[in-house]
Chain A
Amino acid sequence: MVNDQQTSLESKDIRTLTINVGPQHPSTHGPMDIVVTIEGETIIGADVKLGYIHRGIEKLCELRNFFQIPVYLNRLCYVSGMFWEYGFVKAVEEIMNQKVPERAEWLRVIACELTRIASHMIFFASFGADVGNLTLYSWGIRDRDRIIDVLELLSGQRMTFGYFRVGGVRYDVPVGFEDNIEKSLRYVESHLRDYERLTVENPVFIARTENIILADSSKALELGWTGPLLRATGLKRDLRRDEPYAVYDTIDFEIPTGKRGSVLDTFYVRIEEVKESIKIVRQAIKRIPSGPFQHRALLYPPPGIGYAHVEDSRGECGYMIVSDGSPKPYRVKIRSPAYVHVMSLPYILKGLKLADLYAVIGAIDPCLGEIDR
């Protein structure tokens, strides 16, 4: 895939070489093109090309009614669809000051945290494949499937859920849901120790990942990073704690952080986050009150502007919605965390080795659906 080799043999630039990584590449997790310039083995420049699966979802939203839109939004990120529905629904609720019953808030927390576990499992799996650890790949997919089974019980769908509604959620839990959830959580939990032994305690894995530094905390903030990548640099920032929504302010959980912002740190943070999510789901099951799971809501909000944030498994998922009082939104702006992280690649890749590029892409955990929108 060499496309722009310097032809002059006399030139001193003979060692610089431009390589297209993508758009069809197993390590880019989707159609994305990274044009890297290397000198020897060292990366001296990079450019990211996106848009291979741009579907124009922001434009589609302007052409649909408010209650039709969440159907499109869970397709934004097919491994963490719940968050993307939640962000939109929350922004609409903020514009119309809609109250949500307490049971629905807890159900939303359960749905989101289960999705976070499933999404991180996909991260473990794909990251394992990126650094040549195929055991991790099959384990990640296996454990994620148990979580997806629970989400299927909850919403009726395995990936494109359609679970959130303005004013609540779509369904209440089925009979026997608590036992099912506990069984699945125990299944996942029993394997987490194996994950740790295979990765953060494995000398081969540590040697491969600990010296690839993504960014320090000031650079991460300057670039607008959020989520696990920001926490890996050592900052304790989590929207569930800093700007609490739903019932997160009453839940007891820790915010894991890394030390240096290395690829190993991002892995460590995510493993710990899975443990915290399991803790949150257990608390939610215990504390969820009975009552209605949905309030009556207006079909569309009054004129206004709203911004809502949700702590996605990748960072801050944000929606800015402008309504002009008609049944369709005037403008929907989707803020995707993975877009920010992927577009930061040219700023962080300089000086790294080409072979480390795949570990960096894996650590960033791009989801091309939400990047291209």
Chain B
Amino acid sequence: MSELNVEDIKKILPYAEIYKIYKNKFYAKIPKENWIDSARRLKEAGFSLLITVTGIDRQNFMEVNYICRRPEGNGLVIVGTQIDRRDPRIPSLVNVWLGAHFHERETFDLLGIYFEGNLDLRRILLPEDWVGHPLRKDYKW
């Protein structure tokens, strides 16, 4: 299989800013409104294996990411979008990938991002009565 380039991903996600980070690996920055739509498009285009859902605390905003790849190899996309840090909410991906559920639980636990539509959003790694979200940069320990 030939190597992918930025244009191939641009065809799938026309609204995204796309950067090549390494051979066959891309970073796509998308608007918040296209979060679910981008996942559906990528899944239809063959990127059907969800690697993980995660987030990055950028201090003045929160970034949510999901990573998906083609199971037969040849291509991996990290999709990222910016959300408000004080009220971090984003639609859940469980209707696209069943396996998004537990990644979202982990991201909620460690970063405090609410995935709307995930009906089982509980803490997973930390105790249920824990206060705060440790992977935030202003977390005091």
Contacts and interface: CB of A to CB of B under 8 A. Distances in A.
Interface of A: 50-51, 54, 56, 58-59, 94, 221-224, 226, 230, 235, 237, 239, 241-243, 304-307, 309, 316, 318, 320, 322, 330-331, 333, 335, 339-340, 343-344, 347, 372-373
A50 B56 contact: no
A166 to B, nearest CB: 15
A372 B25 CA distance: 27
B78 A320 contact: yes
A73 B110 CA distance: 19
Contacts of B22: 94, 306-307
Chain B residues touching A, range: 35 or more
11 contacts: A51-B126, A222-B99, A224-B99, A230-B71, A243-B76, A306-B22, A318-B67, A320-B54, A343-B101, A372-B125, A373-B125
Q: Which of A54, A224, A320, A339 has the most CB of B within 10 A?
A: A224
Contacts of B101: 343
Given A58-B135, A239-B73, A241-B73, A330 B56 contact: yes
B49 A322 contact: no
Given A320-B54, A320-B65, A226 B21 contact: no
Contacts of A59: 134-135
Given A221-B71, A307-B67, A322-B56, A344 B24 contact: no
B125 A51 contact: yes
A235 B101 CA distance: 23
B52 interface: yes
B131 interface: no
B102 interface: yes
A307 to B, nearest CB: 6
Contact of A226 (B48, B49, B65, B126): B49
Contacts of B49: 221, 224, 226
B71 A304 contact: no
A304 B65 CA distance: 15
A80 to B, nearest CB: 19
Nearest to A372: B125
Contacts of A333: 52, 54
B34 interface: no
Contacts of B51: 224, 316, 318, 335
B127 A242 contact: no
Interface in B50-90: 50-52, 54, 56-57, 65, 67, 69, 71-74, 76, 78
Contacts of B124: 50-51
Contacts of B71: 221, 230, 235, 237, 242
Given A242-B72, A243-B24, A307-B25, A318 B56 contact: no
9 tightest A-B contacts by CB? A242-B73, A343-B102, A224-B99, A223-B99, A51-B125, A54-B125, A243-B73, A335-B52, A94-B22
A340 B74 CA distance: 22
B67 A320 contact: yes
Contact of A304 (B21, B102, B126): B21
B97 A224 contact: yes
B123 to A, nearest CB: 8
B108 interface: no
B35 interface: no
Contacts of B65: 320
B27 interface: yes
A54 B126 contact: yes
B119 interface: no
Contact of A222 (B76, B97, B123): B97
B63 to A, nearest CB: 9
Contacts of A339: 102, 106
A309 B52 CA distance: 12
Given A223-B99, A373-B125, 16 more contacts: A50-B124, A51-B127, A94-B21, A94-B25, A221-B48, A224-B97, A230-B71, A235-B71, A239-B73, A320-B65, A320-B67, A330-B56, A333-B54, A335-B51, A347-B98, A372-B125
